Homo-oligomer: A and B are copies of this chain.
């Protein structure tokens, strides 16, 4: 049983779902906490059936059949057991940051484009969450009794998205001040930043608005 198994099991504990419905639900909610491929969302419930944590029955709808998965008592018990296990460390894969670390292999345009791509990917998710919150106000939550959980999670997402967007703006300002991506090393400005970070202070808090052109080298 992997964390992904428990993620699917937790969904099955809400109500029975078909494989396809699981993929759709994962796209809406799970994706931001535990991003998994569509493929896995089809495979995982099959494994749960093998382990006795769920049952399948095929429903005929027109000429098409679909597999409906239902949690068993053993499944509920397994889910309960999971709650008391150690939570895995978070894992953040951000290719744009990898490209930043090795930005000296390319031009300033390359890094800036990479940051733009990051910004647009984040922006999409950001807008999706804001819209979702609107839909909770208008039409309510698909599982009304769980609204408090979805909304608290949404506060996390909004904080992360805003923090990333703020940082991207800041980074743009810094990179714009570079004469090149290469061989800058410990410039005056970099030293200022390093000193702030070594004291665990945020360089963004200093000039919250006028991030356009901070003193480049002093």
List the B side residues contacting A89 at CB < 8 Å.
121
**A49 in contact (CB, < 8 A):** no
- Which residue of B162, B171, B183 is within 8 Å of A145 (Cβ)? B183
In the complex, A56 has a CB within 8 A of chain B: no
**A136-175, CB under 8 A of B: which get 1 and which 0?**
1100110011111111111110111011101100110011
Partner of A190, one of B147, B166, B195: B147
Interface centre among A87, A92, A134 (most CB of B within 10 A): A87
Task: Please tell me which one of the listed residues B3, B79, B130, B159 contacts residue A167 in the complex, with CB atoms under 8 A apart.
Answer: B159
Copies in the complex: 2
With contact pairs A86-B117, A92-B32 given, residues A155 and B170 touching in the complex (Cβ less than 8 Å): yes
Verify A106–B118 contact, CB threshold 8 A.
no
The verdict on A207 contacting chain B, using a C-beta distance below 8 Å, is: no
CA distance in complex: A29, B97 (Å): 11
**How many angstroms between the C-alpha atoms of A175 and B151 in the bound complex?**
12
**Which residues does chain B contribute within 8 Å of A150, judged by CB atoms?**
101
Q: Which residues A64-121 have CB closer than 8 A to chain B?
A: 79-80, 83-84, 86-107, 110, 113-114, 117-118, 121
| A interface residue numbers (CB < 8 A to B) | 3, 6-7, 10, 13, 29-30, 32-35, 79-80, 83-84, 86-107, 110, 113-114, 117-118, 121-122, 126, 129-130, 133-134, 136-137, 140-141, 144-156, 158-160, 162-164, 166-167, 170-171, 174-175, 178, 181-187, 190-191, 193-195, 197-200, 202-204
